[in-house]
Amino acid sequence: MQVLELVNLRKVAITTGFALIVMAICAAFSVGFVNSKLIVEGNDSETLMNIQTSLSLFQVGIVNCNFFPIVVNCKLSNTSL
């Protein structure tokens, strides 16, 4: 491999590692914090009420779980070696 290819490969590896760390933090927030605040096990009506009163928290959880991994994967797939 040429030196330029190694530099590009290192840059891609660092970007990928950073993205995975950020995704893990977002997933932990969504699953750990958001779910524990919104979902009441066995009580659907209270869960619905929690979601309605904390709609922004619910939306942040949805974005963290669904949108962020898609953005990161698109960004990484466009990175050239």
Q: What is the pLDDT of residue 12?
A: 82
Q: What is the pTM of this model?
A: 0.61
Q: What is the pLDDT of residue 49?
A: 95
Cβ neighbour number for residue 25 with a 10 Å cutoff: 11
Q: What is the pLDDT of residue 81?
A: 47
For residue 29, give the 3-state DSSP assignment: helix
Both structure tokens of 2 = 């040429």
Highest mean pLDDT range out of 16-25, 43-52, 53-62? 43-52
Q: Domain containing 8: what range?
A: 3-77
| Domain count along the chain | 1
Q: What is the pLDDT of residue 29?
A: 85
Contact in structure between 71 and 19 (CB atoms under 8 Å): no
Is the predicted pLDDT of residue 75 greater than 70, yes or no? no
Is the predicted pLDDT of residue 76 greater than 70, yes or no? no
